[in-house]
Structure 1
Amino acid sequence: MTGKDTPARTRSGWRVGVPVVCVAAGLLLGATHGVSGGDEIRSSDAPRLVDLVRESQHSVDRLSAQQSALASSIDNHHGGSPGAEAALTAITNRGDALAAAAGLTPLRGPGLVVTLNDAQRDAHGRFPRDASPDDLVVHQQDIQGVINAMWSAGAEGIQVQDQRIIATSAPRCVGNTLLLNGRTYSPPYVISAVGDSAAMQEALAAAPLVTLYKRYAVRFGLGYTEEVRDVELVGHTEAVRMKYAQPIGPLGY
């Protein structure tokens, strides 16, 4: 009896299973069509890596050719004729001649060194009782007062710390530190100048801001010294860029 029932059960299972599989396959195909919109579902619009590399190489080649053309144009503009060469040589010589006066070359000679320092505590570790924090530190106006007095006495060159002072230099105080050309310094502040030391000392003695600083030095213990000796100044090495200056006429006059 078992042998006769087994084929019947198998045929009955196929009758039920085949329609179920077909329905499931139909649903899957319908969902796939809806997602792909009728297109190939495995296709991709993204460029291949080799295409990206090739495109980048073309861009580099194009920019390199443009750079070469511009460089050639500049060379031809400056050196295309004897007159242009002579003009460029004259400008270069003029720049070299002005470099020393502009503070771009080292300078050495007799001069004066002034040192300013914040107030120091006494033997008991105390400051004067009536002193405020501003009374105990070197300020921007104190440094500028010394520099201006040296210039007025005919200083040939001035250096603050390890930097040469030029026309665009602007020492500034940030808290209790000095900011000069993007670099910060802590006291003591050493101001060195090449020139007539006697004339510079006389100018310092007559400068109102320096005189006021000396009074504070006596009252609150600020540091102030003058030393006559040979001075060696460095040349200004940073790029000189004019951010706001511009010619006012066709020839700059």
Structure 2
Amino acid sequence: VIAQVEQRRALVEERSRAISERQGEIAALEARILGAGGGGQIQAELDALALASGAMPVQGPGLVISLADRPGEPQAEEGGIDQGRIQSRDLFIVVNALWESGAEAIAINGQRLTVRSPIRFAGSAILVNFRPLTPPYEVSAIGDPARLPGRFAATLGASYLKSLSDNFGIVTSIEAAPELTLPGATRVNVDRARPLGGAS
């Protein structure tokens, strides 16, 4: 399993580099087109779309939620699952609670989330955007500093975090961050969308 994970990691990294290169080429072509004149409005629309889709790096205040496995040796419990290890569902619940609380952008260990980002459990690894991550897991969320912490505290996600800590020994923390920088997503594509209004 470890060999397969390492092989997949190398493949993902190779493809991520290729995606980054293509994104750079696209950005250069966009700059050339917009530099021809009259591109101010188009650029504003492109920036708004990139921000909404998660393709653009962003900065701002927010929250950092950290989750780490229970200290000590793994303990197989009923069903062969160690409840002291972070599961993909744990991250999924926290992320959904942050969106519900008004988060504008979220990343897990530097992997920017979009509406198409999978969070999966594969063997002993958690995959985000098909990339294996290792604990501790840092969920960084940008949002209104006056509202995001309080809204998150009132969600089931916050209660769930406390339950993980109290019942299973998982180490969690929630900290306000005055300035976060989240990267743009590398897997932003649309394969079923079409323009409205009958355009082709």
TM-score norm. by structure 2 comes to 0.66
Contact 2:127 2:133 in 1 (8 A): yes
Shift in CA distance, 149/200, structure 1 to aligned 2, threshold 3 Å = farther
Q: RMSD of aligned C-alpha atoms?
A: 3.2
Q: Distance in 2 between matches of 1:178 and 1:154?
A: 25
Q: Does 1:216 align with 2:164?
A: yes
Match of 1:161 among 109, 119, 133: 109
Q: Does 1:170 align with 2:121?
A: no
Match of 1:119 among 63, 70, 74: 70
Shift in CA distance, 211/112, structure 1 to aligned 2, threshold 3 Å = same
Shift of 1:221: 0.9
TM-score norm. by structure 1 comes to 0.54
Shift of 1:196: 2.7
Shift in CA distance, 139/111, structure 1 to aligned 2, threshold 3 Å = same
**Greater share of helix:** 1
| Residue matched to 1:98 | 49
Identity of aligned residues (%): 29
Instruction: Extract unaligned runs of 5+ from structure 2.
Output: 1-32
Contact 2:113 2:185 in 1 (8 A): no
Contact 1:149 1:203 in 2 (8 A): no
Shift in CA distance, 143/251, structure 1 to aligned 2, threshold 3 Å = farther
AA of the residue aligned to 1:144 = F
**Greater share of strand:** 2
| Residue matched to 1:185 | 133
| Residue matched to 1:201 | 149
Shift in CA distance, 92/249, structure 1 to aligned 2, threshold 3 Å = same
Shift of 1:179: 0.9
Larger-gyration structure (1/2)? 1
Shift of 1:153: 1.7
Instruction: Extract unaligned runs of 5+ from structure 1.
Output: 1-78, 80-84
